[in-house]
Amino acid sequence: MLSEALLVSAPGKVILHGEHAVVHGKVALAVALNLRTFLRLQPHSNGRVGLNLPNIGVRRAWDVASLQLLDTSFLGHGDSAALTAKHVEKLKEVAGFPKDCVDPEHLAVLAFLYLYLSICQSQRALPSLDITVWSELPTGAGLGSSAAYSVCLAAALLTACEEIPNPLKDGEAAGRWTEENLELINKWAFQGERVIHGNPSGVDNAVSTWGGALRYQQGKISSLKRPPVLKILLINTKVPRSTKVLVANVRSRLLKFPEIVAPLLTSIDAISLECERVLGEMAAAPTPEHYLTLEELIDMNQHHLNALGVGHALLDQLCQVTTAHGLHSKLTGAGGGGCGITLLRPDVERPEVEATKRALSGCGFDCWETSVGAPGVSVHTAASLDASVQQGLDSL
């Protein structure tokens, strides 16, 4: 078991192109969002295991001795494919939660217990430790916050239990695991996601593990080679929406107007493929033309998504505001509200960016200036973390 504190971070995700079309077998491009989730694991010897989640006001602790007495045979040994609804019910008993709890706070605790008990059962005794997780990502906005949480937990617990080595080298501010170790982190993170979401696609945890950009189609996930880092504004309209309802609405529109909607989905697929091609070219040397093409693809996809019926008046307003400043935007994720992204070309002047952010905030939107194509799960030295992150991790 490690003796010193471990600091891990993982990115969120946005869908660049292919939302909704992906449900119908088309390609989606997902990119790592450089709003990150940070985890600090502090080993100690007080016989307790603690979980602190300041963003959602969770603070829990258990006696290691009482957890040690649990019959955890139901978890299986390293066979992480076998997580079932029964396991989740059993975890609720262990945690003393009501059977019908489905709120994010309870599910976050259950995912932690599942990963702690499963990964640490290889140890002679369950380890005493405190884990604090703090995130720059808003929850429930379709930005992969639960996957980033699961990836951080999996990476930290596997490293603490010495199932994988700590990749941080002396004198370096950050370290990344090898491909083989990332596979193991991703496998366990997917199980954490299953505790939280039941039946996730696996895209969110893969993006958070590997970073960069991924292509997803019919269950197959592959990384894009050396995608460029793109500067963006991420805007949250704060309009709540149900992904389930929006997906069902697109399906019924497809059934009602097959000759109209099927070509829209084929066209969105072509947009994703063209974007993938352009990003591939940009790996060598990005040109202004590349950015203009990316902007055209953003505009076309936004119109297609409106035609599918997943737009919203406030997303239209977001697009109008950024267009007035010479910038191009689209919704990301389920639509019907939620978030949008705006591409920031390298030649956009700082005053223009600031003016756009002010205008968006004036509409009542939350706005972040960040980037996509960010690195995946990483381990950090304490000194390398921003003061705001340190503060977040110390805030409970």
Q: In 170-287, where does DSSP find H-type helix?
A: 179-197, 203-210, 243-256, 258-282
Say whether 146 is catalytic: yes
SS3 46: coil
Say whether 204 is catalytic: yes
Strand ranges for the chain from DSSP E: 6-17, 28-43, 48-53, 58-63, 129-135, 174-175, 213-217, 220-223, 230-236, 328-332, 339-343, 366-372, 378-380
- Count how many Cα atoms sit within 13 Å of the Cα of residue 212 in the half-sphere of its side chain: 16
* Residue from 80, 118, 204, 272 carrying the catalytic annotation: 204
From CA 220, how far away is CA 206, in angstroms rounded? 11
- Ordered DSSP codes for 114-162: HHHHHHHTTSSSPPPEEEEEEESSPTTSSS-HHHHHHHHHHHHHHHHTT
- Count how many Cα atoms sit within 13 Å of the Cα of residue 335 in the half-sphere of its side chain: 29
Residue 113 near residue 123, CB atoms below 8 Å? no
Structure tokens at 199: 């039946």
- Neighbouring residues of 325: CB distance < 8 A, sequence distance ≥ 6: 352, 355, 356, 359
Residue 305 near residue 19, CB atoms below 8 Å? yes
* Residue from 146, 150, 272, 329 carrying the catalytic annotation: 146
For residue 66, the one-letter residue type is: S
Q: Which residues are identified as catalytic?
A: 146, 204
